[in-house]
């Protein structure tokens, strides 16, 4: 019998576009078909992860961390670090073990929100190139 291959499925879009709902619905459908499913969100909301910390810094830097402002370039670097952390610590393993991984956001958001925040295109391209290096082995998402 051939071992099932895992998959990486990515939903991308602006805030409130419906990504989370689509991810949840797809996960439910895949589980109904008795497929192994894991769901992740960038930068992350899982307690105890770098992604969860980056999300808190992003949204609560003033009230929770007493940081008056976060430079947009530095913020995008934090997001990239969180992405790489979960890719290396969980996503690669899940896909190689046959799971269907549903991902809410991708590095494309780093580019869009970075440009919107005034980060130079050159800086964003370098950051994204770093993240792209993490996509190897069992995971090969579409990388233009």
Q: How far apart are CA 138 and CA 144, in angstroms?
A: 18
pLDDT at 143 over 60: no
Residues forming a β-bridge with 100: 7, 37
Q: DSSP string of the chain?
A: -PPPPPEEEEE--STTSSHHHHHHHHHHHHHHTT--EEEEESS--STTSHHHHHHHHHHHTTTTT--S---HHHHHHHHHHHHHHHIIIIIHHHHHTT-EEEEE--HHHHHHHHHHTT--HHHHHHHHHHHHHH--TT------
pLDDT digits (tens, 9 = 90+) for 54-95: 999 999 999 999 999 999 999 999 999 999 999 999 999 999
- 56: closest CA among 79, 36, 85, 87? 79
Hey, which CATH number is domain 7-12+27-134, 3.40.30.10, 3.40.50.300, 3.30.1490.20, 3.40.50.2020?
3.40.50.300
pTM, entire model: 0.87
Judged on CB neighbours under 10 Å (0-12, 13-18, 19+), 75 is: buried
Domain ranges of the chain: 7-12+27-134
pLDDT digits (tens, 9 = 90+) for 104-131: 988 888 888 999 999 999 999 999 999 9
Give how far Cα 3 sits from Cα of 32, 94, 107, Å. 20, 14, 29
Give the length of the chain. Answer: 144
What's the mean pLDDT when you consider all of the chain?
Answer: 90
């Amino acid at each position: 019998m051939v071992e099932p291959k895992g998959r990486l499925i990515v939903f991308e879009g602006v805030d409130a576009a419906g990504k989370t709902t689509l991810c949840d619905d797809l996960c439910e459908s895949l589980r109904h078909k008795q497929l192994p499913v894991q769901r992740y969100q960038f930068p992350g909301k899982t307690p105890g992860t770098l992604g969860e910390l980056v999300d808190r810094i992003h949204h609560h830097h003033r009230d929770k961390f007493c940081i008056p402002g976060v430079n947009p370039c530095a913020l995008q670097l934090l997001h990239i670090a969180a992405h790489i952390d979960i890719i290396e610590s969980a996503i690669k393993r899940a896909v190689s073990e046959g799971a269907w991984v549903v991902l809410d956001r991708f590095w494309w958001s780093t580019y869009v929100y970075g440009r919107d925040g005034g980060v130079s295109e050159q800086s964003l391209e370098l950051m994204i190139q770093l993240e792209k290096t993490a996509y190897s082995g069992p995971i090969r998402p579409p990388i233009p």
